[in-house]
Amino acid sequence: MSDTILVIGACGQIGTELTLQLRKKYGKDAVIASDIREGNEELMHSGKFEFLDATDKNAIETIIDKYQINQVYLMAAMLSVVAEKFPDKAWNLNMNSLFNVLNLAKEKKIEKVFWPSSIAVFGNSTPKNKTPQETITEPSTVYGISKISGERWCAYYHDKFGVDVKSVRYPGIISWKANPGGGTTDYAVEIFYEALKNHHYNCFLSENTRLPMMYIDDAIKATIDLMEKDRLPQFTSYNIAATDFTPKEIASAIKKEITDFTIDYKPDFRQEIADSWPNSIDDTKARTHWNWKPDFNLQKMTLEMLTNLKLKFDREVQNLDV
């Protein structure tokens, strides 16, 4: 039987491009997008869409039955900054959506699950440089606590109930099609918008805050490649790395292209979150287990972001003129 895929949280930063890529790969009828809100035009017009609250198990089950879904990518989550403001809502969304999907897999309603974890599983006691796959995970954020708990639940369902669930720990993701929502690493997206529009950016992190980062194309490649692998003997939420940089370094990469670009640093409460996360990630296990390899470094990503955002802004102006 061919696969039919449900993406939950399809209108978010990663969900949008994941859905588009899955549709390109498997055909538009094989990939159902779902979210609690509508997404951008390209997403909404590229295939079927269902409104869905990820905390409602019955609603998920209805869609699974309707389309005979056998794979779920669960991309709905509340990210680090917003989760600090609404801890109970974040716990409810991040954990109950996962239980819903894991239980549907346990009940054999679906065969395969993808669930993303994050570098937020690490905390102040974790080694900061080239953070290993297996190390101390004592997160200090609401988001990080939900992600490390989720990892343990995935391992539990994998081992006890034979659920085929796969996962990676995403670093900060940089993209231009859909906006990120409420993360600490969002500065590395905002900076491109501000550079093009105002030639200036007020950064909410200090200049030397190094964080692991990845261009969206690499994140999507990692996600789909891992899902296409056979069942793994052991559940692992894989460390994946592409690049790491500081606000100062990304600012100078942008300055090479926009020579009058300037940046100011005004660290706020998000600095503390960033300071608790790694500077860089060791992803040897992902590289050896399933041949993970990124394509984008800081320079290539910068060019890609500026080129695509310029085209996007031009299209927006043209649409306004019509």
Closest separation between CB of residue 119 and ligand SER, Å?
6
Q: Given its phi and psi angles, is residue 163 left (phi above 0), alpha (psi -120 to 50 degrees) or beta? A: beta
**Which residues, at least 6 apart from 193, have a Cβ–Cβ distance to it below 8 Å?**
309
* Beta bridge mates, 34: 8, 50
Interface map 243-282 toward ligand SER (x if CB under 6 A): ----------------------------------------
Binding of ligand SER at residue 143 (CB under 6 A)? yes
In this complex, which beta carbon is closest to ligand SER, that of residue 82 or of residue 155? 82
Closest separation between CB of residue 185 and ligand SER, Å?
4
In this complex, which beta carbon is closest to ligand SER, that of residue 103 or of residue 181? 181
In this complex, which beta carbon is closest to ligand SER, that of residue 120 or of residue 242? 120
Listed in order, strand segments (DSSP E) in 206-252 are 211-215, 237-239, 243-245
129 CB-contact burial (10 Å; exposed 0-12 / middle 13-18 / buried 19+):
exposed
The residue annotated as part of the active site, out of 67, 73, 143, 215, is: 143
Binding of ligand SER at residue 239 (CB under 6 A)? no
The closest residue (CB) to ligand SER is 183
In this complex, which beta carbon is closest to ligand SER, that of residue 168 or of residue 254? 168
In this complex, which beta carbon is closest to ligand SER, that of residue 39 or of residue 172? 172
Cα(253)–Cα(196) distance, integer angstroms: 13
Binding of ligand SER at residue 168 (CB under 6 A)? no
Is there a catalytic annotation at residue 143? Answer: yes
In this complex, which beta carbon is closest to ligand SER, that of residue 188 or of residue 251? 188
Q: Which stretch binds ligand SER (CB under 6 A): 116-124, 198-206, 293-301, 310-318?
A: 116-124
User: C-alpha distances in angstroms, 265 versus 24, 33, 249?
Assistant: 40, 38, 13
Binding of ligand SER at residue 100 (CB under 6 A)? no
Interface map 169-188 toward ligand SER (x if CB under 6 A): -x-x----------xxx---
Q: Contact at 8 Å (CB) between 163 and 105? A: yes
Cα(95)–Cα(55) distance, integer angstroms: 9
Binding of ligand SER at residue 79 (CB under 6 A)? yes
Which residue in 120, 213, 241, 306 binds ligand SER (CB under 6 A)? 120
Nearest Cα to 273, choosing from 191, 182, 174, 190?
Answer: 182
Q: Which stretch binds ligand SER (CB under 6 A): 93-101, 112-120, 126-134, 245-253?
A: 112-120
Cα(105)–Cα(249) distance, integer angstroms: 43
Cα(79)–Cα(131) distance, integer angstroms: 21
Cα(86)–Cα(79) distance, integer angstroms: 10
Binding of ligand SER at residue 167 (CB under 6 A)? no
What radius of gyration, in Å, describes the C-alpha atoms of the chain? 19
Binding of ligand SER at residue 9 (CB under 6 A)? no
Binding of ligand SER at residue 131 (CB under 6 A)? no
DSSP calls for 262-308:
EEEE---THHHHHHTS-SSB--HHHHHHH-------HHHHHHHHHHH
Residues found near ligand SER in the complex (CB under 6 A): 79-80, 118-120, 143, 170, 172, 183-185
Q: What residues are annotated to the active site?
A: 143
